[in-house]
Chain A
């Protein structure tokens, strides 16, 4: 045997081995890919294993100082502008809005306020004007109340692909804790000619609103707590005014001054804004109370439903007291059924309503209509336009609904057609 042939055989052997190795490797990879592609679900080992296949068989994360949401659940506020964001109503469970999802509306951004540097001045038509720090406020007898806060400019429509939060997500509900304004004023010697109060914020806009004293006194709260913790900066840290049922703009955040007066100041926010055109060319001002309203949050865009039974869900609220009834139609207004209201039904609070509905798979429209304890019935868009001779503006609270298509997809119904 020649040396060349020996070499040739050695190289041939090497090449064969290499080819075989590569082939086996490729086959293994292909097999793994095929296995991963075809096998679904995790195979449990038949013996006690430390392999993480079941959270019930492994130690979880340790405790922590501050909790967190599941990484699988990511509700987000809907930020339309730099100065406003909306609550994703369709993502919420129950009626309390998580504080970090409370809607925002600010006119000069969110101020960074050190409570040690912040004071509330109460003066005007009182015998003894005072300055209060946050620590002072907390010394008064406290009060807690669950209620909604809604911006009076809370209605958007115009396309089918809109979520409940996009339509009217400028409403949120919290448990507010603070001191009743009447409790603080008790010491100050309010003069009989005091008929209004001016509330002013410490933000860049020094946001200011005049509010009739008598109407505000019974329920207004100087609040420092929200859902068990300090008010969030976006909602007015360290203190804000909460006037249950009133339009959000009056509930001054970052509150720094309350002046008792005999007449309204007529700030820009109660004249050029937060007023609405009504019939006969008039402009309505001091429209303070939020009228009754409702919205179905399921089924709603972008959700899709299956044929069969489902719980239709939504929220209803009124700034004039309790919601007494919510009527739901699953046949485009031909017939209306009374929805179940989740108790306890609170005054001036988001109230959850539900209705078990068997969808037969045919296209239809679902609608909801709130009725409050004054006998007010949430109007249709057409009724509002007729009453005001205006096609929008503040305090526009029409019935809205969802078109359910054959596929089960839900789209915002044309409000002008309801």
Chain B
């Protein structure tokens, strides 16, 4: 009798435990969807591992092609063509090609003020840290209505003239690929590199 009861009890427990362990019962009441970090670079490293060692796309650029396009001029003078610029010659070019936007003396506007005057505002003389930038910019982008139309000689002369108008060089000072990088600009000492790095401090 007792044995039968124990047997029933065991069968009962087994059934109960089986029922409890059935897959349907195991699904939790709340489904936790896995929160994956998804951003633009998700899986990129694994994808990169499937790339070939070399793509071999495009065609090689030879020196001739590069020289034609490589127009930038750096503070150390790299990129400057050989040449000699004089303020006196620059004055004539300036009157013809620059004065209508920048004013007869370089500060009347209507466009950017280039020469320091008592009314304030950023100019080459009080704001530009490198003299080579004048050459680089004038050659690449000026005059506004015909960018890139000036000869290197004209650019050298205008550079000399603008430095002279700002009182940075003497009128007779010859601007060459050697002397331009050596021109010390008054604003250079004011420049600092960005020090904002995020975080709570306001800079």
**Are A and B interaction partners?**
yes
CA distance A331 to B200 in the complex (A): 24
Contact B127 A266 (CB under 8 A): no
The answer to whether B56 has its CB under 8 Å from any CB of chain A is yes
User: Which residues of the partner chain B approach A128 to less than 8 Å between Cβ atoms?
Assistant: 60
Candidates B38, B61, B75; contact of A131 at CB < 8 Å: B61
* Interface pair A145/B40, CB less than 8 Å apart: yes
A281, CB-defined interface residue at 8 Å: yes
User: Are B65 and A346 touching (Cβ within 8 A)?
Assistant: no
**Given A186-B55, A198-B72: A376 touches B133 (CB 8 Å cut-off):** no
> Is there a chain B Cβ closer than 8 Å to A136's Cβ?
yes
CB of B194 within 8 A of CB of A141, answer no
Taking the nearest CB of chain A, how far is it from the CB of B55, in angstroms? 5
**Chain A window 192-217, contacts with chain B (Cβ cutoff 8 Å), 1 for yes, 0 for no:** 00000010100011101000000000
| Interface contact B194-A287, CB-CB below 8 Å | yes
Assess whether B69 is in contact with A283, with CB atoms less than 8 Å apart: no
**Residue A52 CB within 8 A of the other chain:** no
Contact indicator A121/B76 (Cβ below 8 Å): no
Beta-carbon contacts of B124-143 to A below 8 Å, as 1s and 0s? 10011110110011001100
- B99 is an interface residue with CB less than 8 A from chain A: no
Decide: B200 and A283 in contact? CB cutoff 8 A.
no
- Which of B10-18, B85-93, B168-176, B185-193 lies at the binding interface? B185-193
Cβ contact within 8 Å between A141 and B51? yes
Q: How many A-B residue pairs have CB under 8 A?
A: 161
- Measured between beta carbons, the chain B residues less than 8 angstroms from A307 are none
Query: Which stretch in A29-37, A271-279, A332-340, A352-360 binds the other chain?
Result: A271-279
| With known contacts A205-B140, A374-B199, A285–B127 Cβ distance under 8 A | no
A291 and B140 form a contact (CB under 8 A): no
Contact B193 A140 (CB under 8 A): no
B70 with A206: CB separation less than 8 A: no
- Kindly state whether residue A16 has any CB partner on chain B within 8 Å: no
> In the assembly, what is the distance between CA of A289 and CA of B194, in Å?
9
Docked pose: A265 CA to B60 CA in angstroms: 24
| Contact (Cβ within 8 A) B59 A131 | yes
Q: What is the distance, in angstroms, from B148's C-beta to the closest C-beta of chain A?
A: 7
> In the complex, A283→B194 CA distance in Å?
9
Complex contact A187–B54 (CB within 8 A): yes
Partner of B196, one of A266, A287, A347: A287
Chain A residue at smallest Cβ distance from B192: A282
* Cross-chain contact of B59 among A130, A288, A375, A383 (Cβ < 8 A): A130
Q: Determine whether the beta carbon of A143 is less than 8 Å from that of B40.
A: yes
Q: What residues make up the interface of B, taking CB atoms closer than 8 Å to A?
A: 38-40, 44, 47-48, 51, 54-61, 65-66, 69-76, 122, 124, 127-130, 132-133, 136-137, 140-141, 144, 147-148, 187, 190-200, 202-203
In the complex, besides A272-B127, A284-B191, A347-B39, 13 extra interface pairs with C-beta distance below 8 angstroms are A129-B61, A130-B57, A130-B61, A131-B59, A263-B75, A268-B136, A275-B191, A284-B194, A284-B195, A285-B191, A286-B193, A374-B199, A388-B203
For the complex of A and B, the 10 pairs showing the least CB-CB separation, nearest first, are A374-B198, A268-B137, A129-B61, A145-B40, A132-B58, A130-B58, A206-B140, A287-B194, A205-B141, A204-B147
11 contacts between A and B (CB under 8 A): A129-B60, A132-B58, A141-B48, A143-B44, A183-B55, A204-B141, A204-B147, A267-B72, A286-B193, A347-B39, A374-B197
